[in-house]
Amino acid sequence: MTRRKPLLSALVRSTLDITLSLLWGNMLHKVMQTCMTEQRWDGRFIEEYTEEIIKKNLAELVKINVSIDEAKREVKVRSKGLRLFSEHYIAVTPKADVILTNTRSSADQNSLLAISQLHDVEEDIWSPTYGLKGKNPS
């Protein structure tokens, strides 16, 4: 019975496990990950992929009583910053006018950041036999 627990718990999730914030965050994460993988940040691409992600998450939307139109509006609003993010941080070298503030330092330390290459994206790995579930970086 122990070996089946991860499988059963993943299949029979309670609606309490799903919140709007979690759902929007997961959808936006997948949209951003795809934009980075495809190196496409235009509005049309983001909109098309948002519709695809919404279809893939239809079961979760139904569980928390959210319409497809509401999901489209919400993800669209939340994805507005993706293009600006790409303009600021996707580059071979850091841009001088894009400064990050280190909020963990005692003094006001600023840093420059450039994301020049995507090596890989995370994927789910799942082994009910061994009771493992998590992210695989390959």
pLDDT at 1: 47
The backbone torsions φ and ψ at residue 96, rounded to the nearest 5 degrees and listed phi first, read: -65, -30
d(CA 87, CA 91): 8
Give residue 47's domain range: 2-136
Segment holding 110, helix H or strand E:
strand 109-112
Give mean pLDDT, residues 74-79.
Answer: 93
The domain tally of the chain equals: 1
- What integer is the mean pLDDT of 79-108? 86
Residue 138 pLDDT exceeds 70? no
pLDDT in tens, 31-54: 999 999 999 999 999 999 999 999
pTM of the model: 0.71
SS (H, E, C) 8-42: HHHHCCCHHHCCHHHHHHHHHHHHHHHHHHHCCCC
Cβ contact 31:60 at 8 Å: no
Alpha-helical runs (H) found in the chain: 5-11, 20-38, 43-56, 58-63, 68-78, 80-89
Token reading at 68 = 């497809």
